[in-house]
Structure 1
Amino acid sequence: MAGTFARRWLPPLLIWVAAGALMRWVDGQSELAHIGNLALLLVLAAALSSRWLPLGWALAVDLLAVLAFNAAFIEPRGSFLVELRLHAWLLATMLAISWSTAGLMARLRQQAELAGRHAREAERLRVFSEALRDAGDAAAQADALREALQDLAGTPARLLVLKDALPRSDDDTAALPLDPALSADQRTGLWLSARRSLAFGPGTGRHEELPEWYLPLRGRAGSGGAALIAVPAGALSPDPALRAQAQLLCDQLGLALERSATERAAQQARDAVDQQGLRNALLAAISHDYRTPLATIMGAASALQEQDERLSPAQRRKLAAAIVDESQALARMTDNTLQIARLDAPGVTLKTDWESAEELVGAALRRVRQRHPEARVRARLDDGLPLLRCDAVLLLQLLDNLLDNALKYGGEGGAEIRVTQCDGLLTLAVRDRGPGVPPAWRERIFDVFQRGSAVADPERPDAATRRGAGVGLAACRAIARAHGGELRYRARSHGGASFECRLPLPAPNELPMT
């Protein structure tokens, strides 16, 4: 309070004291003692003091200054009488100029205050817009609006922010948690403002007897909630510009909530389209790629059933082996297809536990050697590998698919599993010495229902007839990404392919106690 008083009244007081002293000094100098010079000093003091004084005070002080000038310097001195008409005109002109200057200064102060207010409002809107842009969810956006409203009005602000669409009836569970200090009437007012997209309270023309403003969070298609702002204390007539600024902030949040809802709906639509496209692709694969193993199984089973007596033991064993091989291939394609469909669905959760890389590799070797006892499969693992938080069934399926591909397309060099750790990553690499994959196909082979065998090795006549639906590598990449990792292809320097699954390792303090 003392600082405000000093800033407002001390400068004009010093100006008038200095002007009075200067006029006394000039009046004592014979060569300067002219009534016009003294009048100019008074007008200058009036103009300078008007920079700080309110208009009413400036007019009063100017009038008192002219009267004092009359008594001190106009003959007869010591009274308010004026002998000459010229002096009367001089006093009137001095008062008119002083009052005009005071009016102009007051107008300039008003314009400067208005410009400053507009600048503060623009800055507040800019800061709030940046806060909305950076806020990740509706709760963070609501906090940003609450802070902006409280800073603007200087009074508490409370919000009703809907989570989704406006419910049929007032249901607090459909909104973000409300302030428990809200009364039943205030809750009703917030819901009514949100439903009607109308403002209530002083100056709105609706329920002006209320001690608060109820402002809707308006979007283009409706309201995403409402805000309650207590009218500043002592305000007999609340500032409509303040309410307009608060409404503008509320509308910004309403538009942001509407954009978020539109983005969620668009994402849901895209997810639905993707899922439908995946379903269609899976149905196409089942209807096409599954026919060959099913036809082989049915043909072998029919031959065993209808011609059993005419078949030799070797022929029966061959047919039985064909049934087993094709059944295993069909089961693998089914598992891979189902994993792609499951892992590509939004919100999927894995059944993770702490697993040993050594045990995962050992289980994968046992499975592949049961199917291919004649194959050459080796494994090399770094010492001291940490435990891995993962879904063991999925990672075992990933290794199984990669080993099967290495043995299928890698030629007679066999396959190798190499496990290393570096820079917080565990790398599971399956390598072979086959022809590799051409550069144009090194990313396409990870797409669903893409088979690169014929392109990778066109000189081998059996390449195009290899069994598969093109889902194995796609399933492997989906498994790697579901674990927060990535599956990549790398061409080996001396020939062959290396499919490398890189998975993030847990921090040392996250590892289980042993």
Structure 2
Amino acid sequence: MAGRLRPIDGTAPIALAAVAGAVLAGLALRTVLPEATLLLLFTVAVLVAAVLSGVMAGLFAAILGFLAFNFVFVEPRFTLVVAEGRDMLALALLLFAGLLTGSLAGRLKEEAEAARRRAAVLEALAAFSNRLGRAGGPDDVMAAMADTLAGSLEGSALVLARRGQGLTTVASVPAAIRPDPEDEAAAERVIRLGAEAPRPAAGWPGARFEFRPFETGSERLAVGFAGPAGRPLAEEGSRVAAAVLAQAAGTLDRLHSEAAAAEARATAERERFRAALVSSISHDLRTPLASILGAVTSLRELGDRMPPPARDELLEAIEAETRRLARFVANLLDMTRIEAGLEPRREPVDLADLAASVVHRARRSFPGGDFRLILPPSGVPLVAADPALLEQVLFNLIENAVKFSPPAAPIAVELAARPEGVEMAVADRGPGIPAADRERVFEPFRVSPGTAGSGTGLGLAVCRGIVTALGGTIVAGEAPGGGARLSVTLPVEGAAP
């Protein structure tokens, strides 16, 4: 209750003004109103003071009104002497009514103010909770905590951390506020001992803030806060501060758990990637190297005794396996560039010319393949791309189609203008890609069900990485008549990204 009865700024002036108004009104109406009615003017003055400034103003106005009425209106006037007993009774009733009215009206005002403050605090805590839900890291939590403490306590707040030999302000509201030496000494004790540092009593030297320890998981911080105009906090303010700190601590625990889980997933993914890489490289290097070694050994041992057709066949096998190794190494290098953050150069590219060149290369690399280039009669716009990387994307898509298509089955390379850009698609007559796997086929070392053999599964991953770096999209779908259709859409040259 003591906290409620504490005088607040403006108590005396408001009480004086209210009673002075009652005196002036009484003097103006003294000739037309009976004395009993004049008493009501002072009761109204007490009500006004209590409503405007609280209990203390109402009580002060009641005492002032008692003295003023006695001094101005009770005979003998302009003295505090009371000549008649009935006047004494009237004054006593005025004082009692004034004290009671002022106390009740003031309490109602203060209860309303307390309810308003509680509603504002609840609203601030709800907003704080929403802000914590969007926090991406400890810095966001610290800033939100300082904002909420300062706003809900109608004062100021700051968060201090030890950095090197001194203290650093992590967050503060108002932004310009900085700790003075007494504040820093209190914060140092909090960080070192982990105990609260309450503010000194009014009139005693010391820190301006009440400091509490706050654990982030990696360090201990000192959170300082103060009420309006730097005044110490009442019990309710301390509870609000404790609730804010508890919410922030819970959010940091959640962020740490999420970070630990993400790190665990990343570690598991790296281990899977490494195991898949070792397995795939051992297969994709050993198989062509064994073929090359066997062909070279046969050529060396048989020499001129080998018939020319057989010798040509072995040389073609060596060439084919060497090309296969070169493509594998190129994919590995491209994957490394993508993982390191590929920054392709962009220039206007004619997809029709590029597709014709890649189809010609595919016919040389895969003799006997039925490759068909389908172009729209009106042509397609230029795209903004890196031509060398785009050739690699298209060749990887064709090589993927060859891998899954029956021998001599047609493989179509189609170009088309779309509202979102230019589409370049490769369609085959293979088994197709199940709907559930159409996104996963672009992951590194992911091999589609039904694949004969293993293989690295790098080709489509490289395609997605390059296309994404070029600002395009790549999707897997079903080809008309069966099979898979992999399509790349690239932005038109000059279009806004």
Quote the residue 2:119 is aligned against: 119
Pick aligned residue for 2:448 from 448, 451, 457: 451
The Cα shift of 1:401 comes to 1.4
Indicate whether 1:415 and 2:398 are aligned.
no
Equivalent position to 2:292, from 284, 292, 297: 297
Please point out which of 359, 376, 393 is paired with 1:398: 393
- 1:500 is aligned to 487
1-side partners of 2:367 and 2:160: how far apart? Answer: 68
| Alignment gaps of 5+ in structure 2 | 1-9
Q: What amino acid maps onto 1:100 in structure 2?
A: L
Equivalent of residue 490 in structure 1, options 477, 485, 493: 477
Q: Which residue matches 2:343?
A: 351
Cα separation, partners in 2 of 1:213 and 1:71, compared to 1, 3 Å = closer
Separation (CA, whole Å) in 2 of partners of 1:507 and 1:8: 75
Q: CA deviation at 1:117?
A: 2.7
Corresponding residue to 1:60 among 41, 52, 63: 63
Q: Whole-Å Cα distance in 2 between the matches of residues 440 and 131 of structure 1?
A: 36
The residue identity in structure 2 corresponding to 1:365 is: V
Larger mean Cα displacement after TM superposition, 62-71 or 123-132:
62-71
Aligned-residue sequence identity (percent) comes to 27
The reply on whether 1:328 has 2:323 as its aligned counterpart is: yes
Closer, same or farther in 2 for the Cα pair 1:269/1:220, shift >3 Å? same
Report the Cα offset of residue 318 of structure 1: 1.7
Question: Residue type matched to 1:81 in 2?
Answer: A
CA distance in 2, matches of 1:417, 1:147: 59
Shift of 1:276: 0.8
- Once the two structures are superposed, the pairs formed by residues 74-89 of structure 1 within 5 Å of their partners are 80-83=82-85
Alignment of 1:34-433 (within 5 A): 46=46, 50-52=50-52, 54-64=57-67, 67=70, 71=74, 80-83=82-85, 91-134=91-134, 136=136, 143-144=143-144, 147-148=147-148, 159-160=159-160, 169-170=164-165, 193-194=190-191, 196-198=193-195, 200=197, 202-203=199-200, 209-213=205-209, 215=211, 218-219=214-215, 221=217, 223=219, 225-226=221-222, 238-239=232-233, 249=244, 256-257=251-252, 259-288=254-283, 291-308=286-303, 310-336=305-331, 339=334, 343=338, 345=339, 348-358=340-350, 360-361=354-355, 363-372=357-366, 374-375=368-369, 376-378=371-373, 380=375, 383=379, 385-390=381-386, 392-408=387-403, 409=405, 412=408, 414-433=410-429
SS at match of 2:209: strand
Offset of residue 378 of structure 1: 2.0
Q: Provide the aligned length of Structure 1 versus Structure 2.
A: 473
Structure 1 position 399, deviation (Å) = 1.1
Provide the rounded CA distance (Å) in 1 between the counterparts of 2:201 and 2:40: 51
Equivalent position SS for 2:485: strand
Q: What value does the CA root-mean-square deviation take over the aligned residues?
A: 4.9
Matches of 2:166 and 2:320, distance apart in 1: 60
1:43–1:97: 8 Å Cα contact kept in structure 2? yes
Q: What CA distance in whole angstroms lies between the structure 1 residues aligned with 2:184 and 2:72?
A: 65
Higher mean Cα deviation, 242-251 or 276-285? Answer: 242-251
Contact 2:132 2:248 in 1 (8 A): yes
Give the 3-state SS of the residue equivalent to 2:74 in structure 1: helix
Q: Secondary structure at the match of 1:307?
A: helix
Counterparts of 1:198 and 1:360, CA distance in 2: 71
How many Å apart are 1:8 and its aligned residue?
7.3
1:71 counterpart letter in structure 2: V
Query: Relative to structure 1, is the Cα distance of residues 284 and 305 closer, same or farther in structure 2, using a 3 angstrom cutoff?
Result: same
**Conserved 8 A contact 1:490-1:499:** yes
Q: TM-score, normalised by structure 2?
A: 0.72
Residue type of the alignment partner of 2:209: W
- Distance across 2 between alignment mates of 1:7 and 1:506: 74
* Partner AA of 1:80 in structure 2: V
Distance 1:138 1:414, change over 3 A: same
CA gap 1:287/1:139 in 2 versus in 1, 3 angstroms = same
> Could you say if the C-alpha distance between residues 16 and 323 of structure 1 is closer, same or farther in structure 2, counting changes exceeding 3 Å?
farther
Secondary structure of the 1:276 match is helix
Task: Report what 1:460 is aligned to.
Answer: none
Of residues 426-435 and 381-390 in structure 1, the stretch that sits farther from structure 2 once superposed is 381-390
Shift of 1:274: 0.7
Letter in 1 for 2:105: M
TM-score, scaled to structure 1: 0.70
Distance 1:369 1:280 in 2: 34
Query: Equivalent residue for 2:34?
Result: 27
Match of 1:450, SS state, is: coil
